[in-house]
Chains A and B, each alone.
Chain A
């Protein structure tokens, strides 16, 4: 997969994550989730452990989109 293809897929994954954040919160609240092809392929409360899990599965963790599922009622203000 070249850079453009990766960016295209990744943007679709991000949109999917944002549109499904409420549903994802039911199972993954306060966890980091790894998203690929519009599905969660793994999750963990600790980002480093999640990256380790992905590597064990044979995924290149740097090419997988990782997002944090914020707890209900919480927003991030930078």
Chain B
């Protein structure tokens, strides 16, 4: 089973591995996009997506300090998020996974965080047993999970 990733090679500044995802909490659903970042050890729910899902930071336990773009942010753990992807053969794939949410402490930080997308990190690949295939030359990338026997 494969989850396709867009590579957008025709736009030099947008050669991210990305695609859309539906994020669901017990209360809300959100249509958004993610970037697959093998340089990130943690999966991060963007501040904008957290706001749109109306996640309250007050009830969340603190995790590590997260450094993004030269700034440090307090991370919080949110356990009740489900990622819904569309597989290459048109099936719905749901993966429940705990994420780190980062919180700004000023207006300036909030502006900066609004531009940071939701990031799927290597923890997701490892825990959920996905293999990343990436051939930028031929514009093909996907996440693959072997069907459980």
Interface 9-residue window, one of B26-34, B97-105, B141-149: B26-34
Report the interface size for chain A: residues with CB under 8 A from the other chain. 32
**Mask: chain A, 2-23; 1 = CB below 8 Å from B; 0 = not:** 0110111011011100110110
User: Which of A18, A19, A68, A75 contacts B114, CB < 8 Å?
Assistant: A68
Asked if residues B39 and A78 are in contact (CB atoms below 8 Å), the reply is yes
Asked if residues A14 and B52 are in contact (CB atoms below 8 Å), the reply is no
Whether B61 sits at the interface, judged by CB under 8 Å, is no
Asked if residues B6 and A22 are in contact (CB atoms below 8 Å), the reply is no
Contact residues on B (Cβ < 8 Å of other chain), bracket? 35 or more
Whether B62 sits at the interface, judged by CB under 8 Å, is no
Asked if residues A7 and B115 are in contact (CB atoms below 8 Å), the reply is no
With A11-B19, A14-B20 as given contacts, are A47 and B48 in contact (CB-CB < 8 Å)? yes
B interface residue numbers (CB < 8 A to A): 6, 8, 10-11, 13-14, 18-22, 28-33, 35, 37, 39-40, 48, 51-53, 68-69, 84-86, 90-92, 114-116, 119
